[in-house]
Chains A and B, each alone.
Chain A
């Protein structure tokens, strides 16, 4: 099935560093979402973006909805150990058909690990 192109695949960081990851698609999305998934858990919503160009913050997290509607990025500032996990971008595809309007298409994830 279709997936978004998410990069980087993995990152090793030091505590206190800033982190950037992004997501691109060949399709236009009308909503971008960023999730974090810890082992054995379902994805937890971090930030939702609903308008092209929108820049939204949630604490140390900042995300932007690309102006072309085909990309989004997530920044984490001053990383801490609990930021470790897998981050997923997800988009809601703009479609003229019925139910397919409401599915989410996910990236493959960015694994964030921290050097001790």
Chain B
């Protein structure tokens, strides 16, 4: 079975641009969560979606938004990129809303220049 897949794997953007990151959960998983991992730090929670609804939001500005599609895949959108948005963006999927079966993808490395 395929694990959590994220695309693209690497991305370079210019300040002020917009970016869309994509995540496909493990088959059968209905929850997708997004995390930002800045170099040298642990992952920070951004969003959780379950059954296509936002179920949790971390302390991130409104420039960050996400959605979940009927097939449970998800997109993370970031507008007006700042240099400080450079990070590894991780997606995790789980069966339900809890942490049972919580599995991370390999992430998208975003560099803002």
Contacts and interface: CB of A to CB of B under 8 A. Distances in A.
Nearest to A43: B104
B104 A1 contact: no
Interface in B72-113: 90, 92, 97-99, 102-107
A35 B92 CA distance: 13
Interface string B51-63: 0001111110000
Contacts of A43: 43, 90, 104
Contact of A99 (B43, B54, B92, B104): B54
A106 B56 contact: no
B41 A102 contact: no
B90 A98 contact: no
A101 interface: yes
Contacts, number: 77
Interface in B7-33: 31, 33
B90 A99 contact: no
B59 A102 contact: no
A105 to B, nearest CB: 7
A101 B44 CA distance: 15
Given A1-B59, A99-B54, A102-B98, A107 B42 contact: yes
Contact of B58 (A1, A6, A33): A1
Contacts of B102: 33, 45, 104
Contact of B40 (A35, A103, A108): A108
Contacts of B99: 31, 33, 48, 92, 102, 104
Nearest 10 interchain pairs by C-beta: A99-B56, A106-B42, A42-B104, A99-B55, A103-B45, A1-B44, A102-B97, A42-B106, A106-B43, A43-B104
Given A1-B45, A6-B42, 20 more contacts: A4-B42, A41-B106, A42-B4, A42-B106, A43-B43, A44-B104, A48-B99, A92-B98, A99-B56, A99-B57, A99-B97, A101-B98, A102-B48, A102-B56, A103-B33, A103-B48, A103-B56, A104-B102, A105-B45, A109-B42
